Structure 1
């Protein structure tokens, strides 16, 4: 389930989300506010690479609202519109003025690499077919078709990001 774009939420909710994210990051610190372990030194670069790979495997992936909970990447029916390239802009029906939510989103990529939370369980991030399985590219990479919820006979609108 995805949630509305952060910039369109009320200021109080945006502040609560920022505090929640900060709290997640603070969980990595000890009670005194310092990191649990001091930086280690390594004799070779290979030892460093092996140690950092092992540490990454042990660490839980960080969670943040925009990457993990807000707008799902890829092709989708319904959902919310991302405004990652521009400020939010109203998409209203030209006949009746009703706000027009996205009916279909066509995206150049199914997986943006920002988070594994939107990656289908059966797919691995290392599979190149996961990122661009259909090979369709429109505009800057993302096109939405909006329809009027008050009357589907009203003209549709397109938006690009």
Structure 2
């Protein structure tokens, strides 16, 4: 077993900002305020959705790369 703590390698988010648009990146504010076609939501530019709009984090062991990765979806 790995004596070191698992550390985050990657986070995959379904949305760049939440539905109430409390925070919108400066470059996307005009798009967020306007109308857009289905499938072109500016808060989800990649179209990647994890689970039912969750986030996925992948963790690795820094001490031993051969140890299995682990993930967390929340």
TM tier, smaller? 0.5 to 0.7
Structure 1-normalised TM-score?
Answer: 0.35
1:120 paired to 2:33? no
1:143 paired to 2:56? yes
| Structure 2 portions without partners, runs of 5+ | none
Q: Highest relative contact order (Cα 8 Å, sep 6+), 1 or 2?
A: 2
The structure with the largest alpha-carbon Rg is 1
**Count of aligned pairs:** 65
Which structure has more strand as a fraction of its residues?
2
Number of the residue aligned with 2:15: 109
Matched residues in 2 for 1:148 and 1:106: separation?
A: 19
Deviations 1:60-96 (A, max 9, x none): xxxxxxxxxxxxxxxxxxxxxxxxxxxxxxxxxxx21
Matched residues in 2 for 1:156 and 1:131: separation?
A: 29
| Structure 1 portions without partners, runs of 5+ | 1-94
Give the conservation status (yes or no) of the 8 Å contact 1:111–1:130.
no
Structure 2-normalised TM-score?
Answer: 0.67
